[in-house]
Structure 1
């Protein structure tokens, strides 16, 4: 049974190891995210940030460690080092608690904006069309794109596509939102509209784990900042504290380069 106690972490990763062949990408990463918390994950390119995010919703499988979502184990490793996932049906149910927004939008080009939002709730969740459309229209209003509901993605700007992608993820009513570099493919002038939508989600107490290079967002919106380098989570501190003093030389050098 799901554990609904409020002090149970929404995300709990302990000692997560991930290898691609002989290349160890994650070296025992541990991070816990509380209900309503916004955690920004920052660090150099190639440090394992995106891989870690993908391991949390089974887009990548881990080779060691423990992952639980809202107190429900997704993957565990026994004393002999054997990593096992729960049965496939349980994996799908647990991963449905998370919504994912990617760097490159991943919208269906042959569907309109509205159709992009209603496809998964109707097909995966089996919801009636009228209910799904009503929810989708509210979400498009939320991200400021009601007027684009009948447009195809090719007619949208990059910022508009990413806001549709956020609305599409929210249409599945997840408890947790995972963002993988949501603004890195955008021109600077389009970044602000996406970050504004994410700020509003944070104000509504949505639990969010955000891989980002946007230091302003990390400083102003995140409750905590987690710094990764070379496959390790080096430090995780309250945002204001981190930016005042990262507490680790590698994090300090990264900040000096970014700010």
Structure 2
């Protein structure tokens, strides 16, 4: 069931996304629109295709069929003959830079300090000068509460601190959209709150966010819409308050009863 939006040009428009791995169809025609400033939480059991869908949106995985349009620019489309075609490589990279991504694992460079991790992509990918990016990086580290850790290395940080550095690193590229792939799943429970607080702050600042999560409190309290996926399909997509108060589909109800 696709989400219905009224905005003329969504930040992300995915249509009939299909993806196979080794002959198994893991995405079975997923369609979703995300409007500017929306926070969409994608929930569902493990293996339902949530993370694969996220990775397809920013070209970490290639789709077998469907279309992906980012802020009105086509990343991938499928022709009448059923062949999926991507934008030329340089154009695809430029379109994908509109999206920042935060993974389950932090993927920080262990040999670089916190500050160096945050400035690395703007220096190498965008070609910015160190003088131009360092003040912005320090501002972002203040934002996530880690300015005091500028000179620390990842091995000296807690899991929650590493994930907040990863968020600052993604924001340093100045994306219009943030994608989060279960950003707290690798954390001890007591460290989850500090990451979720940072994400809540981004939501309050009207950052457009698509969040794959098992954190039901975040999905209920912060997201504008909740999407429930199971077996490679969107089963139900509704405003957060409605989804948690009165899920319509039996599969959604069963999942939420086990999670809440």
What TM-score, normalized to structure 2?
0.97
Match of 2:119, SS state, is: helix
Matches within 5 A, 1:182-221: 182-221=183-222
Secondary structure (helix, strand or coil) at the match of 1:47 reads coil
Summarize the alignment of residues 213-232 of structure 1 with structure 2, pairs less than 5 Å apart.
213-232=214-233
Unaligned runs of 5+ in 1: 1-5
Q: How far off is 1:7 after superposition?
A: 3.7
1:95 is aligned to 96
What does residue range 99-118 of structure 1 map to in structure 2 within 5 Å? 99-118=100-119
RMSD: 0.7
Which residue is equivalent to 1:152? 153
Moved more, 146-155 or 72-81: 72-81
Q: Residue 247 of structure 2 corresponds to which residue in structure 1?
A: 246
Which residue of the partner structure matches residue 258 of structure 1?
Answer: 259
Query: What whole-Å deviation, never above 9, does each CA across 1:58-100 have from its counterpart, x for those lacking one?
Result: 0000000010100111000112111100100110000000000
Contact 1:7 1:35 (C-alpha < 8 Å) held by counterparts: no
Query: Which residue pairs with 2:236 in the alignment?
Result: 235
Structure 2: how far apart are the matches of 1:70 and 1:195?
A: 26
Q: Pairwise mapping of residues 1-259 of structure 1 onto structure 2 (< 5 A)?
A: 7-259=8-260
Cα-to-partner distance string for 1:233-256 (whole Å, 9 max, x where unaligned): 111100000001111010110000
1:38-65 superposed Cα distances (whole Å, 9 cap, x missing partner): 0000000000000000000000000000
Q: Using the alignment, how far apart are the partners of 1:21 and 1:83 within structure 2? A: 18
**Matches of 1:91 and 1:235, distance apart in 2:** 30
Equivalent in the alignment of 1:3:
none
